[in-house]
Structure 1
C-alpha cells in the first residue's frame, strides 16, 4: 500500500544531489552495494542520451563499461522490493507539492520475439496496427508542479497465464495473472485507499476506449474514491429521478435533462482564458446487460461541453464529485493531458522502452529506476541535464501513449 508519509508535506530541505536522493528514496535497500548500484543506474539514466543500454548506462553512471555486469545483476537478479521504493518516491514527490489528482496512462513497448515478459500481439489503436510488444499501465500522481509515475502494471494476456514454463522462465509470481484494464485500475485504487490522507484525491481518467468502464466507476465509488472520467458520446445514461429510459450522453442535453448551463472561464493554449458553455445534470449509469435496474445505482453528474467554433468536438465527463462546482471538476480534466505528456517524455528520454531483460522482476526494477530518474528532474530541475533521444528514434514507441484501453 502507499505509505501515509506520501501525504505529509514537510518543511525540511529536500535532497538536491543524486547520492542524497538515493539515500532517501532507496533507503529500503539495506545493502550498501545495492544503493551504490541504484545511484549508478540513476546517474546513467540522467546522463545518457539516446538508447539506455546497460553498457551505455554503465559508462555514463560509473565511467566504465565493466560496470554493466553489476548493473545487470542489480536490475535482473537482486531481490529488492520495488513497491517500497515506489512508495518512498511518492512520498518525496508529495513533500514537494501536494498531489491534486491520480491519473492513468498507457504505453505499448514494441519488442521482437516472444520471450520478454508480457510480450504479445495486439492491435494498438494509437499505432493503428497490430504490434508485438509489452503493454503497461502507469499510475501518475499529478500536482501543479509535476506529473510523475509512482506505480506500474505490466498487462499479461492469457498466453502468459496458462503457460507454466514460460512463467517460470520470466519469474512471474502466482499473483500476476491476465487481467482487464479495470482490474488494474482497481488495484491502483485499492492501494491508494489504504493511505487515509490519499482518499480524497480524485481520479482523473480517460475511459473512452474502455467498454467495461462502468466497473471502474462503480468500484471507485464503492471504495469511496472520487473521480472524473471522460466517456464517449454514445455512453448510455439515465436522467436521475426523471423516470426516463436510457439515452446516450449526446442526447442528454437535447432532451432537456441538463439542469444547469453556465459559462466557465477555461484556459486556452495561448495562455488566456475564455468562457466555455458547459451543461450538467444528475445521471445514473445502467448496469451492463441490465439497463432497466437503476433504482439502487449511485447518482453521478454528467458534464457536457458542446461543440463550438473553438472546440470542434463535444466532450462528456461522468463524475461523483457532485458537491464540487462544475468549474472545479472541469479544471481537473487537464491532469490527463499532464500524465500523457509525462509518459511521452518517459518514453523518449528516460528509457522505459529500453529494458533488455526478460524477467518480471527485472522489468519492474527498470521501470522503478526510470520513474525515480524522472521524479528527480522534477524535484531538482536546476540539476536536470536531461538526456534527449536522437532525432528519428521516437518511432520505436507507439506514441502518444494516451488512453486507457480495454
Structure 2
C-alpha cells in the first residue's frame, strides 16, 4: 500500500500546527507537564520511523523520558473525551466542506492475549477468525480529506468479567457489544452531547446489526447511508405486482428489477485522477425483516440504492438510507466518502501509528488513539498539499480557529 511521505520542508509547519492544537484541544488537561508530554508524544508520532511504540518515541533519551511517557499514556487519569470533542468541533470549522460522518472498522491483529480487548474472533473484514482487537473510528469526511475524531474498542465477553476488567482498568459502564453496536452508540453520544452539526452517517452494516442500527438512528433523527450486502432481504410494497404487498426479496434482485430506470453518474475516485462511470437505481423499501426481533417501520421512508460499475451485468453495491429527498448522485457520492476515509487511513493514520499501541490498559489504548487522531489532523492541516487531490488547507491562527461556530440545533 502507498504510504504518505512527509516532505522535510513540511516538518516545521506540522510542528507549528501541533503547538496550535495543544493550545486548542488540551485545555482540559490541568497541568502544564501533561500538555508538554502530549506535545512530545505527538511530535514522536509524526517523526518517529518504524512502529510508534512508547520506547521508539522516547528514542535514545534518558529512561526517565520513556517512564514519563508511559505514565502519561497508560496510567494518567486525564479524560480523552473533551479532547476528542474539541477536535471534532475544531475540524468542523477548519476542514474543507465536511459532508458526513463515516464509520470505519479497524482490525489490529495480535500475537498474544494480554492486550486489552484482544481475543480470537471472526472478522468479516478479513473473512476469517483472527486473534485481534476490533475497533471503530468515527471520521469527519469531505471529498478532499477526512479526520478521525472518535474511537470505540470492542470488548469480547471475557473482557467484561471481573478479572480482566480489573486488570485492564475497564470502566463498569463498558459492555460487550458488536463493533457496529459500539459505533452506533458512539455516534448517538456525539449527536447528543458534542454540539456538532447534524450530518449523514455513512457505514457498512451486517444483516444482524441493521434493524437495531436503523431504529437507533431513526429515534435520534440522524440521517444515514448504510452499505449492505446484496443478499439482504428487504420488504417493499406490492405496487405493480399481482398480489398486494408487502413482498420480500434480496436487495440485489429488487434493484436489478429497476434496471430500466438506471441513471448514469460520472465521478472521480478518491486518490485517482481518472474518471469513472456508475449506473444507479433505487427502490423504496420498508423496514428490513429480522428473525430475532421485529423493528417498527421508521417514520421516514427508507430507500434502497444500487450501483452497477462499468461493464457490469449485475448491480454490485447496495445502500439503505433514510435520506430519500436527495438526488441519487449525491447519495452515491456520500456513500463513496468511505473510500476517502480508507485512503486517508492508509496514507496518514496508519503512518502515525494508530495500530501501534502495545499496552494492556483500556485508558492507555484510548489515550493513544486520541493522540494519533490529533497527529493525523496535524499532518493534514499543517503539511503542504500532497497531490492535486490532497487537502490544501492553510494553517489557521489559534484565534481564527477558536471562533465559536453556529451549531445546528
TM over 0.5: yes
Q: Does the alignment pair 1:382 with 2:379?
A: no
What's the C-alpha RMSD, in Å, of the aligned pairs?
Answer: 2.9
Q: State the 1:124 CA deviation.
A: 3.1
CA contact (8 A) 2:233 2:289 kept: no
Q: Does the alignment pair 1:220 with 2:217?
A: yes
- 1:69-80 matched pairs, under 5 angstroms: 69-80=67-78
For 1:338, the equivalent position in structure 2 comes to 340
Pick aligned residue for 2:232 from 228, 232, 235? 235
CA distance, structure 2, for counterparts of residue 247 and residue 312 of structure 1: 16
Aligned residues: 366
Q: State the 1:64 CA deviation.
A: 4.7
Pick aligned residue for 2:360 from 341, 358, 361? 358
Q: Equivalent residue of 1:205, what SS?
A: strand
Q: Equivalent residue of 2:262, what SS?
A: strand
Residues 311 and 153 of structure 1: CA distance in aligned 2, closer, same or farther (over 3 Å): farther
For 1:156, the equivalent position in structure 2 comes to 155
Q: State the 1:75 CA deviation.
A: 0.5
CA distance, structure 2, for counterparts of residue 166 and residue 193 of structure 1: 31
TM-score (norm 1): 0.82
CA distance, structure 2, for counterparts of residue 317 and residue 99 of structure 1: 21
CA contact (8 A) 1:110 1:133 kept: yes
CA deviation vs aligned residue, 1:31-86 (integer Å, no higher than 9, x gap): 000001000111111110111122221238xx555411110111111111100011
CA distance, structure 2, for counterparts of residue 320 and residue 328 of structure 1: 13
CA contact (8 A) 1:15 1:21 kept: no
CA distance, structure 2, for counterparts of residue 140 and residue 51 of structure 1: 23
- 1:86-235 matched pairs, under 5 angstroms: 86-97=84-95, 98-162=97-161, 164-194=162-192, 198=196, 200-207=198-205, 209-235=206-232
Q: Equivalent residue of 2:384, what SS?
A: helix
CA contact (8 A) 1:149 1:371 kept: yes
CA distance, structure 1, for counterparts of residue 298 and residue 312 of structure 2: 39
Residues 240 and 322 of structure 1: CA distance in aligned 2, closer, same or farther (over 3 Å): farther
CA contact (8 A) 1:302 1:318 kept: yes
Q: Equivalent residue of 2:176, what SS?
A: coil
TM-score (norm 2): 0.81
